[in-house]
Amino acid sequence: MKRILSLLLFFLCSLLLQAQTSKETSTKNLIDSINRVIDRAVVQKQIVLLQKLYADDFVFTHGTGLVDSKSSWLKNIKDTSVRFIYREHDSTLVELHNDVAIVTGTLTVKRKRQAEVNAYALRYVRVFVNRKNQWQLISHRTTSEWHLKVE
């Protein structure tokens, strides 16, 4: 009887762990998706969507040291003299801590400002928070940046 109870307990614990792992994987995939949607929205200048995905206390620390708030960053995105051609992610990792997620990755950017086109890549750390069942980006920090050949 002890053996049957032990096996049953082991089986139940395995099911709970599998369900928890599945939920965690699902949440990580959601955050990775939101992370990518944000930069596609920047390219398409979808300000209404970005208003929802950036938290009100969002801080963007650029590789140059320049720091933008949510409003100053959105103002930069609206600027018609600058057009992002693409902003694509690679090598992303999502680390969960309850209602906080830390995302690291590489972002490759190509942008046009008036007649000048430049391209660069950067490594970043982003922090998302779940507030009122809505994941929002609260911080982007560029940790390294390098220029790419424009093709």
Tokens of 82: 């600058």
Tens digits of pLDDT across the chain (151 residues): 666 766 656 655 555 556 556 788 999 999 999 999 999 999 999 999 999 999 999 999 999 999 999 999 999 999 999 999 999 999 999 999 999 999 999 999 999 998 899 999 999 999 999 999 999 999 999 999 999 998 7
Domain layout of the chain by residue ranges: 2-148
The share of the chain scoring above pLDDT 90, in percent, equals 80
Select from 90, 93, 87 the least CA-distant residue to 120: 87
| pTM for the predicted model, two decimal places | 0.85
CATH T-level topology, domain 2-148: Nuclear Transport Factor 2; Chain: A, (3.10.450)
- The predicted pLDDT at position 11 comes to 57
